[in-house]
Each structure stands twice: as structure tokens, then as C-alpha cells.
Amino acid sequence: MLTSKCLKGVMTGYPLAINATNIKVTEVDFNPEFITRVIPKLDWEVLWTAANSIGHGEGLPKILEPKYEDNEELLKKVHRVLLEVEIEEGNLTCPESGRQFPISKGIPNMLLTEAEVQ
């Protein structure tokens, strides 16, 4: 969902690569309705890559089949990746400039420095 487009000279800055050093999984209630509604908002390929890059892509198909709303197995997996797997510590890396944005305690820090803003 995030980009590093704000960096100077970066055109798309998307998708950001994820390096996770600490991943936490918490179970939360499954809501198929939300998952169905959120899937069209996702960039599926990017989600698939991201999930695999942190080792939680198991069972996710690379290409999203139509009629996913009836596939509860799939919805449950998407639910897990979106809501239950949280990167506690790690980095997001801009694909163009290599600039890293740290994630600490589950919160990404997308702030730039003063110099980058000028």
C-alpha cells in the first residue's frame, strides 16, 4: 500500500521491498465480508511477493482466480497475511534509491530527513 514516491527523483517507488527481522502472528476474528471487499483494493502480485518474501506466502496462488469470494480457504489465507502477520521489526526498502524505512514495534517510519525534503 505504501510507496517511496515522496523521495526526490523516485518516479514510482513501488513496491517497497520488505526485510523482516522479527515477525509476530496474532490471531484475530475472521471476517470474510471484509476480506472479499478488500481484495479488489489490493495489488495481488505485490501482496504475493511480499508474503513470500517474509515466508508467509504458503498457499497463496500467484494469480488470483475470479470468484475468489466463494473460496473460503483462500479468504482465510488472505486474512492471515493481511491482519494476523505483523512485522514487528524490519525495513521497507525503496526499489529505486535503496533508501530504507525502518519498522519498529510494528510501526513503519516513513519520515524523510530534512535534507531529503529540500
C-alpha cell at 3: 510507496
Q: What character string, x for contact with another protein (CB under 8 A) and - otherwise, covers 37-76?
A: xx--x-x---------------------------------
**85-93, strands of its sheet edge to edge:** 17-25, 85-93, 100-104
Q: Which of 1, 24, 45, 61 binds another protein (CB under 8 A)?
A: 1
CA 37, CA 10: separation in Å to the nearest integer?
31
- How many other CB atoms are there within 10 angstroms of residue 83's CB atom? 17
Asked if residue 35 lies in contact with residue 82, where contact means CB atoms within 8 angstroms, the answer is: yes
Range in contact with another protein (rule: CB under 8 A) among 17-25, 52-60, 62-70, 102-110 = 102-110
DSSP string spanning 9-52? Answer: T-S---SPEEEEEEEEE------HHHHHHHGGGS-HHHHHHHHH
Q: What character string, x for contact with another protein (CB under 8 A) and - otherwise, covers 4-43?
A: xxx-------x-----------x-xxxx-xx--xx--x-x
Range in contact with another protein (rule: CB under 8 A) among 48-56, 60-68, 70-78, 82-90 = 82-90
Interface with another protein: number of residues (CB under 8 A): 35
From the CB of 12, what's the least distance to another protein, in Å? 8
3 sits near another protein (criterion: CB under 8 A): yes
